[in-house]
Amino acid sequence: MFDLILFVCLRTAMTTRFILEPRKPAKSLIHPPECSFFGSFWLSISTIIGSTQIYGITRGPKGAWLIVAVRVLFWIYAACALINATVQYWLFFQFTPNKVLQMNPAWSLPLYAAMLTGAIAGLIGPLQPPEQRLPIIVAGCAYQGLDIAIFMWLFCFCLFGFATLSFIVAIPRMGFTLSWWVFVFLNVGFNIATIEIGTELKSEGIWWVSSVMAILLVVIWLFTLVSLVKAVWIRQIMWPGRDEDKDM
């Protein structure tokens, strides 16, 4: 209860600050070192979920509704923490001028918040229904960084997120080059790894994700092919001095 009181007080104070200074929320996400501490919000959320498990289920009445609620909160936290880490690091490197010497321990907070998904999984997993237990433990291992292939998949997903955000921002300034085919063949390996994980875990949900990924890959392949033909037609590539040899 004391943790909840502290959480509400701090969130109220931050909300009041941003109401009085409405321009500050956007700036705070890219201003060093304040931007790094947004990850502490998710650390607070993880503590609340963990405390709910301990005092409401493990040592508490073990209400069926609370077991379901904690499971739902776990998956929401896992998704939000990963999205936050990906987007926040991208914002940090995209809009905040930094040098290596300016790095500080607060930089690890967004990723640390995502890693705590593993700690929450360890708390709630054992008392979840058997059919829900395995997905939670597998996700926890992936986030914690203790598993050989699934951890690497999650790491690749983070890199994929960075690359996607950077590509979306750079689209207006990009001209076609043959390196655009990287959008296809590198992600084929990512897709195959997803299929293999789904096969290993016999997870229909992961199979559906891998199917959607495959469809998107076909779309990207067709888009790249059309862009290639167009670039050749307008003499943007495959012509003397207009391709990789333009600086020669």
* 185 CB-side CA count, 13 A: 6
Q: Could you list the mean pLDDT of each consecutive 10-residue stretch along the chain, which spans 248 residues? A: 90 86 78 74 90 90 90 94 85 68 65 86 90 89 73 81 82 78 82 86 88 93 90 77 55
Instruction: Report DSSP state, residue 248.
Output: -
Q: Where are the domains of the chain?
A: 2-148, 175-248
**Cα separation of 49 and 223, whole Å?**
44
Q: What's the pLDDT score for residue 247?
A: 53
Question: Can you state the percent helix, strand and coil of the chain, rounding each to 5?
Answer: 80, 0, 20
For residue 241, what pLDDT is reported?
59
pLDDT of residue 164: 84
Please give the pLDDT value at position 178. 74
The pLDDT score that the predictor gives to residue 103 is: 59
CA–CA dist 160, 90 (Å, integer): 11
pTM of the model: 0.71
Whole-number pLDDT of residue 73 = 95
